[in-house]
């Protein structure tokens, strides 16, 4: 099945693609590479999931926030490319978790996004290289920020 068909079968909805909140482009295409700037967990009503993991949010709430960031990235990709089918594979994901100093489960949280991408593009093409790190703060106190690099068809 195609990435678009896989996404449809998940029964999930995409939030609106966010407009840049600074001096950058959300998605930049360079040849066969598609760079996606850092995205936050945008909800359908355009609000963001806020809070610090280990203080305001649990690990599982953080994982859901990371999945929401993944959905936001998919929305930006579809907005720019017209279809998720134009993405061949995930190359790299950088996940940043707004974490309390004692919080140590950053990879678990970012799995929310990685598992979504694996479901959309399959294990072979949906899992790339990845980093999952904790940050003392993120813009506007969002829970998770993720940037990614994709290869285009």
CATH number where 38 lies: 3.30.1330.40
**What's the total number of domains in the chain?**
1
Cα–Cα distance, 26 to 10 (Å, whole number): 25
Backbone φ and ψ of 92, nearest 5°: -150, 140
This prediction's pTM: 0.97
Residue 90's CB: how many other CB atoms inside 10 A?
22
Cα–Cα distance, 110 to 19 (Å, whole number): 23
- 123 within domain boundaries: yes
- 114 within domain boundaries: yes
Closest alpha carbon to 6 in 126, 135, 144, 130: 126
Predicted confidence (pLDDT) at residue 21 exceeds the cutoff of 90: no
- 88 within domain boundaries: yes
- 78 within domain boundaries: yes
- 3 within domain boundaries: no
- 72 within domain boundaries: yes
The per-residue pLDDT for 100 is 97
pLDDT, tens digit, 9 for 90 and up, residues 105-116: 999 999 999 999
The per-residue pLDDT for 115 is 98
Cα–Cα distance, 65 to 39 (Å, whole number): 11
- 10 within domain boundaries: no
- 17 within domain boundaries: no
* Residue 114 lies in domain: 26-152
């Amino acid at each position: 099945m195609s990435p678009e068909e896989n996404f449809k079968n998940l029964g999930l909805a995409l939030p609106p693609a966010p407009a840049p909140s600074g001096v950058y482009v959300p998605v930049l295409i360079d040849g066969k590479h598609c760079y996606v700037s850092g995205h936050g967990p945008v909800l359908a009503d355009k609000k963001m999931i806020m809070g610090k993991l280990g203080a305001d949010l649990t690990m599982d709430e953080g994982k859901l926030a990371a999945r929401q960031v993944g959905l936001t990235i998919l929305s930006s990709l579809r907005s720019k490319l017209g279809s998720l089918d134009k993405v061949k594979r995930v190359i790299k994901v950088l996940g940043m978790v707004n974490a309390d100093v004692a919080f140590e489960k950053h990879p678990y949280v970012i799995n929310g996004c990685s598992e979504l991408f694996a479901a959309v593009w399959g294990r072979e093409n949906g899992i790339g290289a990845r980093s999952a790190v904790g940050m003392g703060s993120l813009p506007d106190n969002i829970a998770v920020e993720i940037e990614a690099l994709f290869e285009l068809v």
